[in-house]
Structure 1
């Protein structure tokens, strides 16, 4: 029994392929050098400010407003991308139509397109004198230079994350599963809600998390269409740049630390929900 208990907790290699120890060491060293050390330096710099100074910088009205706009617009854009990304992935997987390959390739366009080019293009379209903005202006709808313009830019850059995450999982779902559900008396809504969506939920949450994370830190495509008006359409990354240009390094450090903390908390919650949904679906299956 003693031997069994000792071997039960022994560290086991997950693969028979040799070189696991070396690969793990290189991975941890690389992550420490690229990720942990810079983030640790940021946290260490913020702790040197002192709690009272740190809170006074964080609770500044302009800082709070910029953080609210950044995280709020990123969340809204991620929700929009989650819905339309699943619909687009469904169309690409389940239907055949002329130009399908072209549309499939266009999904990846935001990955290859420079963010500044995307921002200029969106501003040209949604500005009051743009093609779309000129049509919305008589209706009293203003997109450019408002938080709505930020949402449009984040939807543009975040859509591929959802589509490319959900699409492979959707391709693995056999059509026979849908036909079996229909044979057992399920209507279309029940088939989608009880058969398809539970299997897509973990992948959808992953795409949502990726789109949200990209939206929080997006800069190039936003600054053009946002207008960068303080207390109106100013995002937190731009405010960090402004503080650095003012040589106000403590304020820039404080804003960056808050963004890091809030992003980590939200991604931790999303990943926890994703793991829970994956366990629930696997146990149900």
Structure 2
């Protein structure tokens, strides 16, 4: 059976040479992904269990974990709500300047993260264009961190949902409306099930991007230990002090939790795909 499957793959392959293509793919992934990640675990193992536990259980480190994961989750959740709304407007409506708005969605991809951080900080400081009109402090607080992470993660949700919306047959919506269903009921029963896998994928991408973000956050965060210090900044601090083992220990915990969360999200995505396909 295995030989037949491989032969089938070879016959259907567009690129010549299945073995060569697969070998190059595995070599490429090994050098860019597997080898760097394995070095993180290698440096961590060299420090011993007691030193590892003492490093990752420091109150300052625990506080950075809570802030990084909490702010990343909040930003990804906000992006899901507004990302779906933006994708809906771009797909279902025609208005002047639509191409410009569609292009602006990708701006966080092209804009250097440090520039984004400086721009957001200047806007939301107490004397900034936006911050001076707010009744509460945004810059140098967890709220500012969430805003920065929302800014850099929005395109992932929009670009995942947008093509799915374009491919949805509007005749299904018309049939639902003709049967007496309200707009809300049509969205929940007809449109949302089609969008859910793309929404989950966009959430996972936005969450992963926010979790490792450094440049756009370091300026607006204020970097106050136990309050606004994110984990990537703490890792950089350990590296600047030449504590490579401590930096890799903190990074290992981030890596493990990220793998677990992404596995859960991918499992949930697989379950929703299987459920709606069978239905």
Normalised-by-shorter TM-score class: over 0.9
User: Which of 18, 23, 31 lines up with 1:25 in the alignment?
Assistant: 23
- 1:246 pairs with 2:241: yes
Distance 2:183 2:230 in 1: 42
Structure 2 residues without counterparts, runs of 5 or longer: none
Whether the 8 Å CA contact 1:66–1:234 is kept in 2: the answer is yes
> 2:71, 2:146 within 8 Å by CA — same for their partners in 1?
yes
Establish whether residue 63 from structure 1 lines up as the match of residue 61 from structure 2.
yes
**Deviation (angstroms), 1:7:** 6.8
Name the CA distance, whole Å, in 2 between partners of 1:129 and 1:185.
53
Q: Could you tell me the TM-score, scaled by structure 2's length? A: 0.96
C-alpha separation in 1, matches of 2:205 and 2:167: 21
1:149-168 alignment runs, 5 A limit: 149-168=144-163
Shift of 1:79: 0.2
Matches within 5 A, 1:38-187: 38-136=36-134, 139=135, 141-187=136-182
Superposition deviation, residue 50 in structure 1: 1.4
For normalisation by structure 1, the TM-score amounts to 0.94
SS at match of 1:230: coil
**Kept in 1: contact 2:145–2:220 (CA 8 A):** yes
Alpha-carbon deviation of 1:208? 0.4
Q: 1:211 aligns with which of 179, 191, 206?
A: 206
CA distance in 2, matches of 1:188, 1:71: 35
Partner of 1:3: none
Q: Check if 1:195 corresponds to 2:190.
A: yes
Take 2:192 and 2:97, find their aligned partners in 1: how far apart are those partners?
Answer: 27
Shift of 1:13: 3.8
Q: How far apart are 1:11 and its partner, in Å?
A: 3.2
CA contact (8 A) 2:43 2:244 kept: no
**What is the count of residue pairs matched by the alignment?**
276
Provide the aligned C-alpha RMSD in A: 1.3
* Cα distance, 1:19 vs structure 2: 2.0
Q: Aligned to 1:269, which of 261, 264, 267?
A: 264
Taking structure 1 as reference, are residues 71 and 7 closer, same or farther at Cα in structure 2, changes over 3 Å only? closer
Matched with 1:11 is 6
CA shift at 1:16, angstroms? Answer: 4.1
Q: Given the alignment of the two structures, is residue 221 of structure 1 paired with residue 206 of structure 2, yes or no?
A: no
Tell me, in whole angstroms, the C-alpha distance in 2 between the residues paired with 1:273 and 1:7. Answer: 29
Write out per-residue CA displacement over residues 167-220 of structure 1, whole angstroms, 9 at most, x where no aligned residue: 011100021111111112211111111110101011111110110000000000
Decide whether the 8 Å contact of 1:147 with 1:233 is kept in 2: yes
Q: Distance in 1 between matches of 2:267 and 2:37?
A: 22
